[in-house]
């Protein structure tokens, strides 16, 4: 009887702590349209907002849009409030004419508990543009690509309550919409991601897969996601994203084998399985790269479709990094909401090298 009571108590403890009791579907079901709305509507994504990278030039220094740094700091703060280890990753580039560009990637890390040296990487980009219009004075970029960054925030909120075998990195890249010919001989097309793969060369081989989550919210009336893929190393990743779209997002899918779009290209060119997950038929989006890509444009954001896309990528990452339990205590302890903390200026490379050694 005593042994039976011990066994029953042990089983009760396992169930109470959530060991082996949580599934990816449990996480996917926590993706909330209301939460996505709250995040997106709290960011500078409205008519008149300007998040452009290198919007103007004064002397030999490029100046970013008025809301660019506001977006940067809000993303940093939200990740830290979810308990993720979060860094500013500064970017300084001098071009071949001697002009200086500056920005910063936002990098958020959740360490794996079993195989931390295996990294699953998902990105959005927080800069925007309205270069389909001459002389534009704003670029709110609600869909392109605040939608992808907010998807990462929503996953960070949910994932903070759980543990995973492998490490997850979420990146909000800067300067995706720009190309700079650096005086170091590097062509920075997709500035933030090129900076990242060139700076952290010893960490890049630890990345198992990379997905660029870019333009995922347009109200296009479809029930389909699109994979921009086409790299020979992508066979298993393509299949995994297909399954996630179907099983977790309730979406069908199509392919375009372009190797020219978004931040995944920087990683794919280093041999990493990498693709972009984007809304179907995005090239027909009438608000793409215009001043009307705004959250307060009632025809722009399709909240139901957007929620499905976030559910799909949530399911993919949970399965890929291997969800293994509930985090001890109440999720992860939220970090300071202050944006200019000591950790913000720590060297990201040193942290990553300690993580994967």
DSSP sequence for 182-216: BTTS-EEESHHHHHHHHH-TTTGGGEEEEEEE-S-
Task: Retrieve residue 180's tokens.
Answer: 């700079």
Looking at residue 347, its pLDDT comes to 80
Looking at residue 342, its pLDDT comes to 41
Looking at residue 346, its pLDDT comes to 61
Assess contact for 169 and 121: CB atoms under 8 A: yes
Gap between the Cα atoms of 54 and 176, Å rounded = 11
Assess contact for 178 and 209: CB atoms under 8 A: no
Q: Helices 303-321 and 33-42 sit at what angle, rounded to 10 degrees?
A: 100
Looking at residue 9, its pLDDT comes to 37
| Burial of 201 (C-beta count, 10 Å sphere; 0-12/13-18/19+) | exposed
Looking at residue 20, its pLDDT comes to 53
Looking at residue 334, its pLDDT comes to 44
- Using only the alpha carbons of the chain, give its radius of gyration: 20
Q: Is domain 32-356 given the CATH code 1.10.10.10 in the classification?
A: no
Looking at residue 13, its pLDDT comes to 37
- Residue that has been written with the tokens 């205590």 in this structure: 329
Strand partners, 155: none
**pTM confidence score:** 0.92
Gap between the Cα atoms of 129 and 290, Å rounded = 7
Assess contact for 326 and 77: CB atoms under 8 A: no
Averaged pLDDT score across all residues of the chain: 90
- Residue that has been written with the tokens 């995973």 in this structure: 164
Q: Any idea what the Cα angle at residue 274 is, between residues 211 and 188, rounded to 5°?
A: 90
Residues 305, 154, 173, 193: is their CA dihedral positive or negative? Answer: negative
Assess contact for 251 and 241: CB atoms under 8 A: no
Coil, strand or helix: which one is 166?
strand
Gap between the Cα atoms of 25 and 204, Å rounded = 30
Task: Flag residues of the chain having pLDDT under 70.
Answer: 1-20, 329-346, 357
- Residue that has been written with the tokens 């929503």 in this structure: 154
- How far is the CA of 54 from the CAs of 51, 61, 148, 262, in angstroms? 10, 9, 21, 18
């Amino acid at each position: 009887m005593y042994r039976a009571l011990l066994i029953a108590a042990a089983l009760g403890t396992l169930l109470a702590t959530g060991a082996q009791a949580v599934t990816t579907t449990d996480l996917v079901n926590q993706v909330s349209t209301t939460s996505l709305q709250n995040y997106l509507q709290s960011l500078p994504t409205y008519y008149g907002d300007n998040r452009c990278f290198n919007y103007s030039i004064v002397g030999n220094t490029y100046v970013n849009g008025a809301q660019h740094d506001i977006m940067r700091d809000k993303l940093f703060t939200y990740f830290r409030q979810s308990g993720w280890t979060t860094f500013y990753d500064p970017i300084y580039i001098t071009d071949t004419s001697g002009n200086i560009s500056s920005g910063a990637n936002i990098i958020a890390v959740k360490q794996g508990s079993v195989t931390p040296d295996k990294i699953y990487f998902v990105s959005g980009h927080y800069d925007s543009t309205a270069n389909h219009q001459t002389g534009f004075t704003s670029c709110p970029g609600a869909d392109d690509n605040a939608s992808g960054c907010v998807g990462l925030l929503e996953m960070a909120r949910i994932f903070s309550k759980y543990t995973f075998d492998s490490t997850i990195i979420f990146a909000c890249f800067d300067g995706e919409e720009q190309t700079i010919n650096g005086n170091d001989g590097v062509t920075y097309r997709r500035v933030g991601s090129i900076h990242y793969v060139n700076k952290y060369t010893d960490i890049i081989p630890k990345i198992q897969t990379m997905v660029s989550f870019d333009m995922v919210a347009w109200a296009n009336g479809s029930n389909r996601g699109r994979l921009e893929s086409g790299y020979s190393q992508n066979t298993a990743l393509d299949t995994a994203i297909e399954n996630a779209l179907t099983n977790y997002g309730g979406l069908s899918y199509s392919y375009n084998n372009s190797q020219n779009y978004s931040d995944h290209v920087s990683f794919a060119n280093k041999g990493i399985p990498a693709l972009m997950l984007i809304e179907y038929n995005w090239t027909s989006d009438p608000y793409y790269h215009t001043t009307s890509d705004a959250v307060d444009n009632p025809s722009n954001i399709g909240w139901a479709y957007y929620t499905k896309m976030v559910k799909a990528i949530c399911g993919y990452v949970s399965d890929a990094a291997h969800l293994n339990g509930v985090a001890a205590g109440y999720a992860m302890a939220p970090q300071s909401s202050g944006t200019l903390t000591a950790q913000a200026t720590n060297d990201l490379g040193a942290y990553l090298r300690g993580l994967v050694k």
